[in-house]
Amino acid sequence: MHATLLFAHGSRDPAWHQPLLNIAQRMGELSPGTCVRCAFLELTQPDLPSAAAEVVALGASHITVVPMFIGVGKHARQDLPVLMASLKDTYPQVQWRLKPSAGEEPAVIDLLARLALA
């Protein structure tokens, strides 16, 4: 089974989470049966190790982590690689894929530019 973990910063404000939850819900609508979970770096649960443990327990053998960061700062460049290395050590039977941060994706850049121009 394949799972996708949408990884974001996190916030104490519950309203902050809604856009990420909307993305996860839309993924499920576009691809019924897709295993999608949200995970957060700090201030919010579940964290990335907990979300990974959940999908592994469900039978995931391939896990894609999608960093939902527009900017590619310290969290994407330093914190996330450390977390990924730990996950690979904890679950060596899982094939891990780390996608570029959302803000590095040409389609996202194009969409945001078009939204700003509209």
**How many angstroms separate the CA atoms of 98 and 94, rounded?**
13
DSSP 9-61: ---S-HHHHHHHHHHHHHHHHHSTT-EEEEEESSSSSSBHHHHHHHHHHTT-S
pLDDT of residue 45: 93
| Beta bridge partners of residue 65, listed in sequence order | 5, 98
Q: Which pLDDT does position 47 carry in this prediction?
A: 96
> To which H or E segment does residue 3 belong?
strand 2-8
Determine the pLDDT at residue 102.
94
- Residue 77 is predicted with a pLDDT of 75
Topology (CATH level 3) of domain 2-117 = Rossmann fold (3.40.50)
Q: Which residues of the chain have pLDDT under 50?
A: none
To the question of pTM greater than 0.75 for the whole model, the response is yes
The pLDDT, as a whole number, for residue 3 is 98
- pLDDT score recorded for residue 65: 97
Domain boundaries, the chain: 2-117
Give me the pLDDT at residue 87, please: 98
